[in-house]
Amino acid sequence: MFMNEHDIDEALVRFSRHPLLGPATKTIDSLRDGVNACSDGWPYWQRPQRAAKRLSDLIVQAGRALREQGCQSPATPWPGAADLKAAYAQLRRFRSKYPQCRFLIFPAPGVKGDEALPQQHGIEVTGNRRIDGATAEIAVALRDACPGGRDQGYYNHAQRLRDEILAGASELAEK
């Protein structure tokens, strides 16, 4: 079942402390953010939604069981580590096909997650969201101003500009 952005936000709050569903909801949240950053957006790109179908089904079914049965032990069994592994396998396949869509897979008991964000193609990441975001915007502005070039060329040029700005900022800070 498709989870819209509101459903994902609600699941993050509802399952934040659950040992399996907490990491599952963090993972689908990370995927949504990655999709929003590299495409027209979560509601519009069908491939990541299909890749996340198994994961979103687990989360939606658990939420439905909670609503229907309240605090009682749910009649529907909670997802186990094997269910989450299978859902994560689809996300890993999606990520290998679309490396521009960067997201984290969060570990859960019995389920391996990511150690760190996978290597990004294009702009080298500094770890500072403001700097990385500005560098990406520079690359997009360059691409829009000079159509017909290769995307990697724009990324490289944006990185050189970013490095010059950072060097100048550190010189100013030293004065």
Single out the residue of 145, 141, 144 nearest to residue 161, CA to CA.
Answer: 141
| Mean pLDDT, range 133-156, rounded to an integer | 66
Residue 123 reports pLDDT greater than 60: no
Residue 80 reports pLDDT greater than 90: no
Instruction: Give pLDDT, residue 143.
Output: 64
Between 9 and 154, residue with greater pLDDT:
9
CA distances from 154 to 46, 125, 144, 161 (A): 27, 15, 10, 10
Residue 173 reports pLDDT greater than 90: no
Instruction: Give pLDDT, residue 57.
Output: 94
- How large a percentage of the chain has pLDDT more than 90? 34
| Mean pLDDT, range 123-128, rounded to an integer | 64
Ranges of each domain in the chain: 5-97, 129-174
Q: Are 142 and 154 in contact (CB under 8 A)?
A: yes
Instruction: Give pLDDT, residue 37.
Output: 87
Between 161 and 25, residue with greater pLDDT:
25
| Mean pLDDT, range 39-66, rounded to an integer | 91
Q: Are 48 and 42 in contact (CB under 8 A)?
A: yes
Residue 152 reports pLDDT greater than 70: no
Instruction: Give pLDDT, residue 162.
Output: 76
Which of 92-105 are b and which e, b meaning 16 or more Cβ less than 10 Å from the residue's Cβ?
A: eebbeebeebbbbb
pLDDT bucket at 166, cuts 50 / 70 / 90: confident
